[in-house]
């Protein structure tokens, strides 16, 4: 009798492998939950969210700001933890390390590549939503702000308790403090007061050992690194102590639109050499976008906009002398309060300040799904180079695309590039941000849109900073390089992207990383790498 031989198909092996992987992950999930629950038996039901309970998806989806990372195939966390105390964070780190799970930490969900809540390896998510207290000391002009707070909540609380003070932060009210601070953070006041993290004077950090450290106990090198070195590398910053600045008494805004047929190219070319030299009271920018004019013809509009800390009477003579080509008139200008200017520039309704604390509000400056890239410009682009930009903005994929130019100069020219990890200061004329958006329902064609940004980015190479070509960490872009999933990325390999974000500061960041987290527990697609022992200098 012949023996029977069976050969299993690759499909069968795949099914078996997938089932075994699922069992292993479920086991790790259960082990983590058991570990955490043993340390916090009274809290675990409100702090731990697993896929089999109703709160899991509502918490996960609550602050996904880019629906490119909200598809059925997007990897999801095994567990979500919503800590309400520091001890919850410490226990999460302990139990994660014990059972071999990676951590992602989310404050506002605005990471442009979803790195704060997505991973290709098994992970759990710490969502900081319940750690968002704001304590203001008006007399000393300081405040402690927890990382789970959003910018709008900070602005709102300052109006309530300290209406003579504010903080130099950004326009989008739903941006989380934790992520914003970790990358530097710029806003309407950055040419006068510097970046947000230039105004941080203390912090509370939970490191990989579970220690709660302040500025003194973490040391100046770690304190330097967390203020602009990117989130998710050195530990979890629970709170930031910030220096408040005087509230501007009055702000004058203007927006002047020019289409290509109205000499826009020539005026944009002139702006490049003027905007960075304007007084520090100016925040000046341009936004390019495709539009349709009479008869359905497609063209590009350049929207010149500015925020000026002063009155129209003070603004007009400056503009008439320094930038007459714009043709600014009194009718173009609107005076308002500082907080109204935040709402206006952020395209937000200004009937009530409650919009500032609405965490569900979708940022009108961004499409539901989007891809962005950044550049820094150190020499004016030739006038003819803009023709290639216009051509790309008129392509089909770019119907919901924008290109933003943000003028630098002011105090940014005076702060050393090594003051914090954010190095893009002196010598920068302006920053550029390329964004393309699409409806969430069109995510199946996301690569079609993303490739448009890549072609534009390639076209811009001759006209932007070089050696390295710089980028802004808070506009994360994994196209410029990313770490291996296994956590074994070397300093040299990570330098491909790290030098672009941090330039010469990348080396010190790697040294600090090696000192505070030598086992590389806190890691993600663009986290700072550790160094071999022989490379340590600190």
Q: From CA 41, how far away is CA 83, in angstroms rounded?
A: 14
* C-alpha to C-alpha distance for 226 and 233, rounded to whole angstroms: 9
Edge-to-edge, what's the strand order for the sheet holding 79-81? 48-49, 79-81, 123-127, 102-106
| Alpha-carbon torsion (14, 18, 24, 27), positive or negative | negative
**Distance from C-alpha of 210 to C-alpha of 163, rounded to nearest angstrom:** 37
Query: DSSP string covering 333-399, please?
Result: EEEE-HHHHHHHHTT---S-GGGGG-TT---TTS-SEEEEEEEEESSPPPTTHHHHHHHHHTSGGGG
d(CA 349, CA 336): 14
Tokens of residue 523, six digits:
């890691």
Q: How far is CA 486 from CA 2, 509, 520, 535, in A?
A: 47, 20, 11, 22
Tell me which of 422, 434, 475, 491 is the catalytic residue. Answer: 475
Residue 388 φ/ψ, nearest 5 degrees: -70, -30
Buried b (16+ CB within 10 A) or exposed e, 425-447: beebbbbbbbbbbbeeebbeebe
Query: Which residues, at least 6 apart from 72, have a Cβ–Cβ distance to it below 8 Å?
Result: none
SS3 labels along 496-516? HHHHHHHCCHHHHHHHHHHHH
Residue 475 bears catalytic tag: yes
H/E stretch holding 146 reads: strand 142-146
* Rounded CA separation 37/20 (Å): 26
Q: Which residues pair with 106 in a beta bridge?
A: 127
Across the chain, which distance is largest between two alpha carbons, in Å? Answer: 104
Three-state DSSP at 143 gives strand
Q: Where are the beta strands (DSSP E) in 186-318?
A: 200-206, 212-213, 236-243, 245-246, 251-259, 282-292, 298-308
Where is 407: in which H helix or E strand?
strand 401-407
Residue with tokens 């598809």: 71
Q: Which two tokens stand for residue 443?
A: 């995510």
DSSP string, 180-201: HHHT----TTHHHH--GGGGEE
Strand partners, 251: 336
Residue pair 171/187 in contact (Cβ under 8 Å)? The answer is yes
Report d(CA 162, CA 476) in Å as an integer.
33
Instruction: Assess whether the previous peptide bond of 468 is cis (omega < 30° from 0).
Output: yes
Tokens of 458: 């390639």
Known catalytic residues?
475
């Amino acid at each position: 009798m012949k023996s029977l031989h069976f050969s299993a198909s690759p499909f069968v092996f795949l099914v078996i492998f997938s089932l075994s992987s699922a069992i292993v992950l479920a086991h790790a999930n259960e082990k983590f939950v058991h570990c955490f629950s043993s340390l916090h038996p009274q809290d675990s039901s409100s702090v731990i969210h697993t896929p089999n309970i109703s709160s899991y998806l509502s918490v996960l989806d609550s602050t996904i700001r880019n629906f490119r990372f909200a598809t059925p195939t997007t990897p999801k966390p095994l567990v979500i933890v919503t800590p309400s105390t520091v001890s919850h964070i410490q226990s999460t780190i302990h139990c994660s390390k014990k059972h071999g799970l990676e951590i992602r930490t989310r404050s506002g969900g605005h990471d442009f590549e979803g790195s704060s809540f997505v991973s290709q390896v098994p992970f759990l998510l710490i969502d900081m939503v319940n750690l968002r207290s704001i304590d203001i000391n008006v007399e000393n002009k300081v405040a402690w702000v927890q990382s789970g707070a959003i910018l709008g909540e900070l602005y709102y609380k300052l109006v309530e308790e300290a209406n003579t003070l504010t903080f130099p932060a950004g326009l989008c009210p739903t941006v989380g403090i934790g992520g914003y601070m970790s990358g530097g953070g710029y806003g309407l006041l950055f040419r006068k007061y510097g970046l947000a993290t230039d105004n941080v004077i203390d912090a509370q950090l939970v490191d990989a050992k579970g220690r709660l450290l302040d500025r003194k106990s973490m040391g100046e090198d770690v304190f330097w690194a967390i203020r602009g070195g990117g989130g998710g590398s050195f530990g979890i910053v629970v709170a930031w102590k910030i220096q408040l600045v005087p509230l501007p008494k009055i702000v004058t805004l203007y927006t002047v639109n020019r289409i290509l047929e109205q000499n826009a190219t020539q005026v944009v070319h002139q702006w490049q050499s003027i905007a960075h030299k304007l007084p520090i009271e100016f925040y000046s920018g341009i936004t390019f976008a495709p539009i349709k004019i009479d008869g359905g013809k497609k063209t590009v509009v350049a929207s010149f906009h500015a925020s000026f800390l002063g009155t129209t009477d003070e603004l007009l003579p400056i503009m008439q002398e320094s930038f007459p080509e714009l043709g600014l008139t009194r009718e173009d200008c609107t005076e308002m309060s500082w907080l109204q200017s935040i709402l206006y520039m952020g395209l937000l309704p200004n009937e009530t300040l409650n919009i500032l604390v609405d965490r569900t509000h979708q940022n009108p400056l961004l499409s539901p799904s989007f891809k962005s890239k950044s550049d820094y410009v150190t020499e004016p682009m030739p006038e003819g180079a803009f023709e290639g930009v216009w051509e790309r903005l008129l392509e089909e994929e770019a119907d919901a695309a924008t290109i933003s130019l943000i003028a630098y100069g002011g105090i940014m020219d005076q702060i050393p590039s090594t003051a914090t990890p954010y190095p893009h200061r002196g010598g920068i004329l302006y920053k550029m941000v390329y964004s393309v958006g699409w409806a969430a329902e069109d995510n199946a064609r996301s690569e079609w849109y993303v490739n448009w940004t890549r072609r534009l980015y390639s076209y811009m190479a001759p006209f932007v900073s070089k050696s390295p070509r710089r980028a802004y960490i808070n506009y994360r872009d994994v196209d410029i390089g990313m770490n291996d999933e296994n956590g074994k990325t070397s300093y040299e390999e990570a330098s491909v992207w790290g030098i672009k974000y941090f330039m010469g500061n990348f080396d010190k960041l790697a040294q600090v990383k090696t000192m505070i987290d030598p086992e590389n527990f806190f890691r993600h697609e663009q986290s700072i790498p550790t160094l071999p022992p022989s490379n340590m200098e600190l």
